[in-house]
Amino acid sequence: MRIGKQDNATTAICDSDATSITVRGRDLCDEIIGKTDFTSYFWLLVTGTMPNAAQKAMADATLCAIAEHGLVPSVAAARMTYAAGPEAFQGAVAAGLLGCGSVVLGSAETAGRFYAGIVAQEGDPRVAALAAVKALRAEKKAIPGFGHPQHADGDPRAHRLFALARELGLFGPHCAMVETIGDVLPEAIGRSLPVNVNGAIPAVMLDAGFPLTALKGISLLARTAGLVAHLTEEAEHPVGFIMAHAAAERVEFSDS
């Protein structure tokens, strides 16, 4: 039974023979290992081209910005999974990544699609932004990339990423759109909201030339590093069962 399109059986990412491995047209051993940093290699893998200096610096910054933020849901899931199954380190990492969705961690993709959709419209960007925000408000949906439960005065990571984008000459239409959305929020929803890191990441990365379809990969790759750190700590100083017990103590049973 044929499911989906089956007429494009090709890949441009990797090939190998008895003596060599070729990745995106480059010999892995002769041209990449020991000669290319991982951020550039990641960019090459995803886009097929090497980043320029500004693109590499921006990608580096975003990966650092999102890799770690304490005992957030993805970390809690990973540490509790590891506590229950310490023989499956990979399973605990996977548990932490599976929750990368539209609310936490993976929201950069949602925000990126929202910004890109407005940027692609013709006419006054402010008018387009106001209409888009009002449409979300009418559906009682959150504004992607805005609001933070802790950083009420603005996510410091977002501020730094936008500042770096300006320094690198990468502050473009998507970054400008985030500013425009922030400006129209009081009119659209009656109050201001701070931009968060998942609003900054897609804006700076799209303006740097990173593909929209790969935006979630930034968060997945970065958070994997953070999860490995937490699970290494969990093996030495376990808190997974403590978190599970705290949850049981905090949530009351109800038969209704």
The CATH number of whichever domain residue 184 belongs to comes to: 1.10.230.10
Does 213 map to a domain? yes
Does 24 map to a domain? no
Does 11 map to a domain? no
Does 131 map to a domain? yes
Does 36 map to a domain? no
Contact 62, 68 (CB under 8 A): no
pLDDT per residue as tens digits for the range 91-113:
999 999 998 888 778 888 999 99
Q: Which comes out higher in pLDDT, residue 86 or 106?
A: 86
Our count of domains for the chain comes to 1
Confidence of residue 256 (pLDDT cuts 50, 70, 90): confident
Confidence of residue 150 (pLDDT cuts 50, 70, 90): confident
Share of residues in the chain with pLDDT > 70 (%) = 99
Does 27 map to a domain? no
Residue 76 belongs to what domain range?
52-256
